[in-house]
Amino acid sequence: MQFLIDTVLSVIYIIIFLILSAWIWRLWVYYVNQKYINSLSWVLLDIKLPREIDKSPVAMETALHSLLQSGGVSVWYKKYFKGNIPVYSSLEIASIEGIVHFYLRVEKKYRPIMEASLYAHYPGIEIVEAPDYTSLIRYHHLTKDVSLWGATHSLSKKWSPTVKATGKKTENPKEEMKADMYPLKTYVDYKLEENPKEEHKVDPINTILEFMGSLGKGEHAWFQIVVSDEGNFNGKKFPKLFKNKIKDGLKKEYSVSDMAKERREQIRIADVMQKGSDAVSKYGGVETRTVPATEVGGKPTTVPIKYESNVVIYKKENELNAEDKNEIDLINKKMSKPLLASAIRLIYITKKENFNPAHIQNVLGVLKPYGLPAGNSFSPLPTDPYDYPWEDTGKRRVPWRSEELFDAYVEREGIMPMVHESKFMSRWADDFFWSSSMKARKTFFMLYQIFLHPFSRVEPEGLSVLNLEEIASLWHFPGLVATTPTLPRIDSTKGIAPVNLPQ
């Protein structure tokens, strides 16, 4: 009896030790991550555009290669004991009472390389350090004189990985994953890489600029793309970004490259032959074998060959239809350029007396020109996600969601560290922390995740993976085709003095 008691106690002590170890480890990781983030030194660069820009977005795509910084997280010591996280930057367009600015926020140590890259491809621009424009107007969930409407824009297409037991994808929509391996409509689709004349250009960025240029006194609109090299999230330096909800022995985590590879394979699957079914020959008939007379005790017999396990039959190249080939081409197009993990936010914030409800649709719809019917498109996650009045009792849900979005924008929150919020706990926290600060609420959810979900990993909500071509389509310097009168342009360009000046 004593042996049984000792065994049970030993198991309990081991479980307690493991849980305590998990708690301590998660606390440590959050601590060093936050310490590292607080140690970073940032600079916000205001980019002033010349009157004429004759470069296509190809120039911006080339310049933005400098954002692909993957150093500092390659070894476990820097990751777990120094708290290093992937390098991230922010590409921004801001309208301050109708005056439109292009901003770039980077770590100070990367300023020289970014400036050199931009000047190399846009020699007429001027780059100056600027104060953070988000300090001009502030939003708090208890604020009475400021109104905010915004959205996180995320790629909307979904897919399901193949279930190993059947070789086919699931039909359950709850088990679908984001299909970020499909491309958006980019400047290449708009033929901007061909450098057409200004009067012939159709530039999708004009939709954003016209909305921002239409604002008046007391109104602000901010557009932000926080980017980080997706190559860091490869399962070695950091966990792959997308979690799989299907069991059946599939991968638990996927990168966009993993999803692209598996989807291309799915398209080529013609059929899945189950174990024990008749084998199919390369000519399409039943494959057979001859059983010798010695085995059957009579004349030789021809019998069908049976599959000893599930076998996937793939389509031949000439069996792929036009739709299959187009889908493979789209995936290949997306995967042909470097990838960046991206968080895309758009905010309209004003003094309450200046709030214009018509701009709600602008916030939700300005990225629609980037939608590709057979590819991908953006789906906004608004600050008012509640369809029924009983979901927002007390009218406290929307102000909190608005402050969460505002806080994420101001802090330029990207991918790390991630904090999980359950819908049930979130409703309770909205009421409990109503008189508290956002910092207190975020601290609570961090502790909630550490102590109640110590072994889980959070999939970042609203995150998208875009390639450089797509990023350059969303954020580039427009030519004169952008007629927004409140987009400032400088009169002179920088250059060297003439060599023939009189002495």
Query: Which pLDDT value is given to residue 307?
Result: 60
What the block records as the tokens of 125 is: 């621009």
* Residue 466 clears pLDDT 90, i.e. is over it: yes
3-state secondary structure of 98: coil
Torsion angle in degrees (nearest 10) through CA of 333, 335, 338, 343: 100
Query: Which pLDDT value is given to residue 287?
Result: 64
Task: Enumerate the domain spans of the chain.
Answer: 42-253+328-442+456-490
Q: Measure the CA–CA gap between 45 and 37, rounded to whole angstroms.
A: 20
**In Å, what is the CA distance from 99 to each residue of 4, 42, 87, 210, 388?**
76, 24, 30, 11, 37
End-to-end CA distance of the chain: 107
Query: Which pLDDT value is given to residue 281?
Result: 63
Query: Which pLDDT value is given to residue 274?
Result: 61
Q: Measure the CA–CA gap between 12 and 8, rounded to whole angstroms.
A: 6
- Residue 123: asked if its preceding bond is cis (omega within 30°), the reply is no
The DSSP call for residue 90 is E
Q: What is the pTM of this model?
A: 0.88
463 beta partners: 343
Q: Which of 98-102, 121-125, 425-429, 458-462 has the lowest mean pLDDT?
A: 458-462
* Residue 129 clears pLDDT 60, i.e. is over it: yes
Query: Which pLDDT value is given to residue 365?
Result: 92
Could you tell me the pLDDT band of residue 237, with boundaries at 50, 70 and 90?
confident
Q: Measure the CA–CA gap between 99 and 408, rounded to whole angstroms.
A: 23
Percentage of the chain modeled with pLDDT above 90: 48
Q: Which residues contact 220 (CB under 8 A, 6 or more apart)?
A: 94, 95, 96, 97, 133, 136, 137, 347, 348, 349, 350
Q: Which residues contact 26 (CB under 8 A, 6 or more apart)?
A: 449, 450, 454
Provide the b/e sequence for 163-178 (b: ≥16 CB within 10 Å). Answer: beeebebbeeeebbbb
pLDDT digits (tens, 9 = 90+) for 27-78: 998 899 989 999 999 999 999 998 888 888 999 999 999 999 877 787 888 8
* Residue 88 clears pLDDT 60, i.e. is over it: yes
Residue among 222, 209, 231 nearest 149 (CA)? 222
225 or 498: whose pLDDT is higher?
225
Q: Measure the CA–CA gap between 328 and 309, rounded to whole angstroms.
A: 28
Could you tell me the pLDDT band of residue 497, with boundaries at 50, 70 and 90?
very low
* Residue 476 clears pLDDT 80, i.e. is over it: yes
Mean per-residue pLDDT over the chain, rounded: 85
Q: Measure the CA–CA gap between 171 and 140, rounded to whole angstroms.
A: 42
Q: Which residues contact 29 (CB under 8 A, 6 or more apart)?
A: 80, 83, 417
Could you tell me the pLDDT band of residue 275, with boundaries at 50, 70 and 90?
low
Could you tell me the pLDDT band of residue 268, with boundaries at 50, 70 and 90?
confident
* Residue 444 clears pLDDT 80, i.e. is over it: yes
* Residue 487 clears pLDDT 50, i.e. is over it: yes
3-state secondary structure of 207: helix
* Residue 98 clears pLDDT 70, i.e. is over it: yes
3-state secondary structure of 164: coil
Provide the b/e sequence for 329-341 (b: ≥16 CB within 10 Å). Answer: ebbebbbebbbbb
Largest CA distance in the chain: 115
Could you tell me the pLDDT band of residue 160, with boundaries at 50, 70 and 90?
confident
Q: Measure the CA–CA gap between 172 and 160, rounded to whole angstroms.
A: 8
Contact 181, 190 (CB under 8 A): no
